[in-house]
Amino acid sequence: MLLGESPLWHPEQKCLYWVDIVAATLNRLNINNKSVKKFKMPSQIGSIGWRAKGGLIAALSDRFASIDTETGMAQTLALPLKKPPQDMFNDGKCDRQGRFWAATKDIAEESPVGSLYCLDVEGKAMEMANGFTVGNGIAWNLDNSRMYICDSPARQIYEYEFDPIKGQLGAFQVFAQISPSAGFPDGLTVDSEGYIWSCHWDGWQITRYKPTGEIDSVIPMPIPRPTSCCFGGEDLKTLYVTSASVGLSASILADAPQSGQLFALEIGVKGVPEPAYLG
């Protein structure tokens, strides 16, 4: 993989999906026979969720789309971004009320032009927050009262007050500040104990945070760029981790030849099922 992202365990199909943003592919792993199916997308694809009525919901570079998981065909659902965009869609996830949220990033990763969008179950896309340079790592706490999102260049994970019924954000605070030596916060997920797992781009690690924002534990990785993670498998006790090889020098790739691979970690902690998009 060049830039693996958005791992997703499909609870009905019992398989793992993820995207390669740079290669513009959607990938599906059959856990039983280890076969991988790749679908070429019409543009770069930032993130995915599963859809209750079938297929997937996705954030392509400039739009929300549905994807047929048999053919790989993408159908536009909403076009919320300006054209030509200075930003593009990046990380995204479904909330427990069936909405799909996705953040955008500045293509140059320099200016805070990124926003957070929500695609509701009626198919309407709305801007919910802005000011991100690289919006990343979306998840919710167990009682749906808090939403987590990163701004990677700022090295910060934010915690927003969240109204699950209205799908609205309230005040926010910095949940975690990542030190320069630990890289940049990327994708994240929440486990069944309410702890937050965050991948560190250029940090060679995954951090498990307590709900208070304190570090609980750190898992060293054999690659510098773990990008995102999700819980999967029949018992939701496997942490699947995507990674990136794009942009790494020959010397770093020699030290980390597994860069760009998919990892499955047995960590003794159970995740929570990813909800579906209900639109």
- Give the chain's domain count: 1
Please indicate if the annotation marks 186 as binding a ligand: yes
Task: Give the residue-averaged pLDDT of 147-157.
Answer: 99
**Is 186 a known active-site residue?**
yes
CA atoms of 90 and 104, how far apart (whole Å): 5
253 within domain boundaries: yes
271 within domain boundaries: no
- Specify the pTM: 0.97
Task: Give the residue-averaged pLDDT of 248-275.
Answer: 97
pLDDT at 82: 73
CATH number for the domain spanning 91: value is: 2.120.10.30
Please indicate if the annotation marks 90 as binding a ligand: yes
CA atoms of 152 and 250, how far apart (whole Å): 24
Instruction: List % helix, strand, coil for the chain (3-state, nearest 5).
Output: 5, 55, 40
Q: Which of 186, 216, 235, 255 is catalytic?
A: 186
279 within domain boundaries: no
pLDDT at 61: 96
pLDDT at 81: 85
pLDDT tens string 161-219: 999 999 999 999 999 999 999 999 999 999 999 999 999 999 999 999 999 999 999 99
28 within domain boundaries: yes
27 within domain boundaries: yes
pLDDT at 225: 99
- Pairing relation of β-strands 196-201 and 184-190? antiparallel
277 within domain boundaries: no
Best CA proximity match to 158, nearest among 125, 127, 196: 196
Residue 83 has pLDDT above 80, yes or no: no
What letter represents residue 72's amino acid?
Answer: G
Residue 255 has pLDDT above 70, yes or no: yes
Q: What is the enclosing helix (H) or strand (E) of 199?
A: strand 196-201
Q: Measured between alpha carbons, how far is residue 95 from residues 51, 60, 115, 274 in Å?
A: 12, 18, 17, 8
Please indicate if the annotation marks 136 as binding a ligand: yes
Interior/surface letters 43-69, b for 16+ CB within 10 angstroms, e for the rest: ebbbbbbbbeeebbbbbbbbbbbbbeb
232 within domain boundaries: yes
77 within domain boundaries: yes
Best CA proximity match to 139, nearest among 47, 17, 41, 233: 47
Residue 84 has pLDDT above 80, yes or no: no
What letter represents residue 247's amino acid?
Answer: G
Domain range for 63: 4-266
Mention every residue, 6+ apart, whose C-beta is less than 8 A from residue 60. 41, 42, 43, 44, 45, 46, 74, 89
Q: Measured between alpha carbons, how far is residue 142 from residues 27, 139, 189, 211 in Å?
A: 28, 10, 11, 10
Q: Which residue shows structure tokens 């996830």?
A: 93
